[in-house]
Amino acid sequence: MPWVFAAEKVLGAVSVAALCFCVLYIGIAVAGTLAGLVPPDEDLLVAEAMVIIAFLPQWLLVRRRRHVAVDALARLAPRSVQRGLDVLASLCGVAAYGVLGWAAWIAFDRAWLSGSLYIGELELMAWPGRLLVFLGLAGGLAACLLDLVRRLTGGEETE
């Protein structure tokens, strides 16, 4: 599925761009305070960029196994027990991403319907950041579901 690899590259590039934005905008804000020029809504813009960095690449984190995992004791167990623990871990991921995604959808829906704005000089809409949280969590859920299906069917891991 070449489109999946292309989408993953786009996710990575967007996340890196958001991180670069944070670094540059904070640098400009720090240098600006020395010159008496402070850019608008620094905290808000950096916080919204952090949403992109933290939530949008959840698909990548799950698919490439870059999420937090503690398997020190599981490695000592027999292979059949390890498989069961892997299925349990996938089920826990599905449950966690499902609950968080549901909450993110509710937050997005409320922000969309109310037309809420962030208070500040730029008066940015709140719903785009909430939508990105939902999309990131939906990606994590989809990756966990794929991982669960792979584990249950005995499929091969793909990178």
pLDDT (tens digit, 0 to 9) for every residue of the chain, 159 residues total? Answer: 688 788 888 888 999 999 999 999 999 999 988 888 888 888 899 999 999 999 999 988 888 877 766 677 777 788 888 888 888 988 999 999 999 999 999 999 999 999 999 888 888 999 999 999 999 999 999 999 999 999 888 766 554
pLDDT of residue 119: 87
- Which residue in 130, 149, 147 sits closest to 93, CA to CA? 147
Structure tokens at 39: 């850019």
156 CB neighbour count, 10 Å cutoff: 5
pLDDT of residue 1: 67
pLDDT of residue 71: 72
CA angle 47/49/51 to nearest 5° reads 75
Q: Each residue of 10-25: b (16+ CB within 10 Å) or e?
A: ebeeebeebeebbeeb
Cβ atoms 152, 87 nearer than 8 A:
yes
- Give, for 29, the enclosing helix (H) or strand (E): helix 2-35
